[in-house]
Chain A
Amino acid sequence: MFEIEILTKKDFKDSRGERVLSDICGLGVTNVTKAEYSQLYVVDGDINLSETEMIASELLVDKVTESYIIRKCCAEYCSEVILKSSDAKENDRLNSNFSVIEVWYKKGVTDTVSESVVKAVEDLGIVKEIKVKTGYKYYLYGKISRTILLNTIATKLLANTLIQECKVHCLADKKA
C-alpha cells in the first residue's frame, strides 16, 4: 500500500492554501501565518513501487505546477519516509515547523474521485485490482493548540464531520 501526495511547487501559487488561510482568519484564529494544501491518494492492491510512480507521474501530478511524494503505508499508518519524489528540492519544506490536518472520508462513504482514479489507472494500462482512497492535507504554520486545530479549524472549516474525519498532528504536541 502506498500513499501519493501531490503538492504545489514552490514557485507557483497555492490558491487553495491561500483561501484556507483567509478562511481561518475569518474564524477569528489569527496565529496561523501560512497554510499549504496537498492532495492525498492511498493506493492499495497488488501494485509495486514503479507502477505507483507511473500513476503519480503520468496521472495524478500536473508536471508543470505540481510535484509528488510517495510513501509506504500500512493499514492505518503512513510512514514519514519518502520512497520516491519528483523533485527532491520540494521535500525541504516538509522538515519545517508546522501542524497538519488530514481530511479523509469516513468508512462507508462513497469516494467518487477514487472511482475515477481506478478507471484512469486502467486507462494507463495497469490492469490490476486496486482500491484507492482520497484525502486532503493542510500544513498550517504558526503556534496553534490542538484544541483550536481540532475543534475550530478542522471541524468548523475543513471537514464535513457527517461524512469526513480528521487526523491532526499538532506541532505543539511534538515539541512537548
Chain B
Amino acid sequence: MKKVKVLVLRTAGTNCDYETQSAFELCGATVERVHINTLIEKKDKIFEYDILAFPGGFSYGDDIASGKILSNEIKNKLGDEVKKYALSGRPIIGICNGFQVLVKVGLLPSPELFKQISTLSYNDSDKFECRWVYLKVEKKIKNESNCIWTRNLPDIVSLPVAHGEGKFIPGNEKFLDELNKNNQIVLRYSLRDGSEPEYPLAPNGSVEQIAGICNGKGNIFGLMPHPERYVFTLQHPAKEGFDSKYGWGKVIFKNAVDFV
C-alpha cells in the first residue's frame, strides 16, 4: 500500500518541525522536512505530497509580527501553488506559528478568498503564555463540521499552548457569524467541565474563546495549541490519554493520514 507523504515546511526560526514529523510518522506516514527555499526553487514539488504541515516556532524571529514574514514570502513566491494545493482538498494543518501563517496568508478561514480577513494578535496579557489548557470540541461541531482533523476527539481535550500572539480576532461581526454558522470554529478554550474559562485557562483573550478553526470544506485546520506535544500519554502532566500509551494529539494527525 502506498504510504501517505507529508511535507513539513520549515524556515529560519521554525522549531517544532521534528515533533510534527515524529507525530505523523507515528501515524504511519512518510515525512519530509523541506526548507521554503527548496520549495521556491522547485514549486511543483508541493504536489508530490498528500498532506502539508506548517509547524510551530518563531519563523524569522517573529519580526514585524508572528508569521508575518513567512506568510508574505509564501503569498508572493508560492501563492499560486499553495492556493491550488489547498483548493484540491488535500489536508493542511497549521500549528501555532503555522496557524498564524495560514491566517495571514489567507488560507483560513477561506482559501477561495485567499485574503487575510482575521488575525492572531498579541495576548491580552502582553506576555508569552505557556501551559496546558482544556479545549472544547462541541458535539454539534463534531457531528456537523466538515473538519477532517478533529473527528473522534472527546468533548474536552487537554493540549499545551505556548505563544505570545494567539488572540484570534475576526475582521468583523459578519465573518464571525459565518464561522459560527458554517461550524468552522472547531476548538474553543474551556474549563474541564466545558464551561467558559478565565485567564489563565483562557490564555490570550481570543474572541469567543476560539483556539482552532477550519475552512468550510474542512481540509485546512489551524490551531494555537500544540497537538504534536501530546502524542504519548507520558507527555501529559497527569499521564492521561485515550489508552495506556497514546495522547489525544495523535488522533488529530491520524485523522488526516486515514483521510488520505
Contact = CB atoms under 8 A, between A and B. Distances in A.
- A and B from one assembly? yes
Interface of A: 12-13, 15-16, 18-19, 58-60, 62-65, 112-113, 116-117, 119-120, 123-125
Interface string B160-183: 000000000111000000000000
B122 interface: yes
Given A19-B126, A116-B69, A65 B119 contact: yes
A175 to B, nearest CB: 31
Given A12-B121, A16-B126, A117-B63, A64 B69 contact: no
Contact of B65 (A62, A123, A124): A62
Which of B77, B126, B170 neighbours the largest number of chain A CB atoms within 10 Å of its CB?
B126
Nearest to B73: A123
B124 A13 contact: yes
Interface in B103-147: 116-119, 121-127
Given A16-B122, A113-B64, A120 B116 contact: no
B12 to A, nearest CB: 9
Interface residues of B, number: 26
Contacts of A16: 122, 126
Nearest to B125: A15
Interface of B: 60-61, 63-65, 68-69, 72-73, 76-77, 116-119, 121-127, 169-171, 205
Contact of A120 (B72, B118, B127): B72
Contacts of A113: 61, 63-64
A12 B170 CA distance: 12
Q: Is the interface of A mostly helix, strand, loop or mixed?
A: helix
B171 A58 contact: no
A112 B63 contact: yes
A123 B73 CA distance: 6
A40 to B, nearest CB: 12
A125 B76 CA distance: 8
A104 B109 CA distance: 37
Given A59-B68, A113-B63, A116-B63, A64 B171 contact: yes
A84 B118 CA distance: 24
Contacts of B124: 13, 15
B126 A18 contact: yes
A52 to B, nearest CB: 15
Contacts of A117: 63-64
A137 to B, nearest CB: 16
Contacts of A13: 124, 205
Nearest to B122: A15
A123 B77 contact: yes
B122 to A, nearest CB: 5
7 contacts: A16-B122, A59-B68, A62-B65, A63-B119, A113-B63, A123-B72, A125-B76
Nearest to B124: A15
Given A112-B61, A113-B63, A125-B76, A119 B126 contact: no
Nearest to B123: A15
Closest 3 pairs (CB-CB, A-B): A116-B63, A15-B126, A64-B119
Nearest to A39: B64
Nearest to A115: B63
B76 A64 contact: no
A12 B169 contact: yes
